[in-house]
Amino acid sequence: MAANKLSIGSLCIPYQILDVAGPLDILSSCSKNLAQPFEDMGLLPAGTTAAAPDIEFHHIGETMDPVAGTAGMTIIPTTTIDNCPELDYLLIGGPDPATFQLSPAYAAFLQKHVAAGKGIFTTCTGGLAISASGVLDGRVATTNHSALSLAEKLRPAVKWARVQWVEDGNIWTAGGAAAGMDMMAHFVREKYGQKILDLALVALDFEPRDREGKRALKAESA
């Protein structure tokens, strides 16, 4: 993918809606697709969106059947693991660890994605959910902090950490749902710069926290 192109897919598992909607809205709010019309109307200074990414979003199911998320919301796949286009990153939201088991098909999809050098984001129990695939083995990672002791028992090969979010190479993991937004904000700043992140921070009225849960990033115009 070109430097200003980003293709990201989320796995359609029964996740907590904010785990996925929050990070994806950070990306959407600073994307060229969304911001360019505001620049064209003169609502943003000329050239503001030059470095903003063109983003493609995909929602990936094992089939095209809808999946139940939290709060009575339905997750509708846009593609399947067999037909999914090339991705830069996968995002995995957190399901209920008491009832969810990662399927062999999703595990193989994750393994192939990581073996190709592509990236992963997880939010909440998403880290615990995908750990069974082995893609986090040997890495520093986190999950919802209430599930850390369970994660340590189920997948001791992962170096579980009690922080808001972790970047370990091309794999980013976050704790609870709001920590996923913190994580994605830091990713945007690292990859595209503060001015592009500001598009999202101002639009969403959001102040991300650092790894320790302290407010760390504010829009420069704030």
What residue spans define the domains of the chain? 5-204
- What b-and-e string marks burial along 189-212, b requiring 16 or more CB atoms within 10 Å of the CB? beebeebbbbbbbbbbebebbebe
Tell the burial category of 92 from Cβ atoms under 10 Å away from its Cβ (0-12, 13-18, 19+). buried
Specify the pTM: 0.92
pLDDT in tens, 181-194: 999 999 999 999 99
| Residue closest to 151 by CA, chosen among 166, 63, 116, 199 | 166
Rounded average pLDDT over 147-167: 97
Q: Which parts of 146-176 fold into alpha helices (H)?
A: 148-154
Which CATH number does 5-204 carry?
3.40.50.880
> Does residue 3 carry a pLDDT above 70?
no
pLDDT in tens, 69-80: 999 999 999 999
The whole-chain average pLDDT of the chain stands at 94
pLDDT in tens, 88-145: 999 999 999 999 999 999 999 999 999 999 999 999 999 999 999 999 999 999 999 9
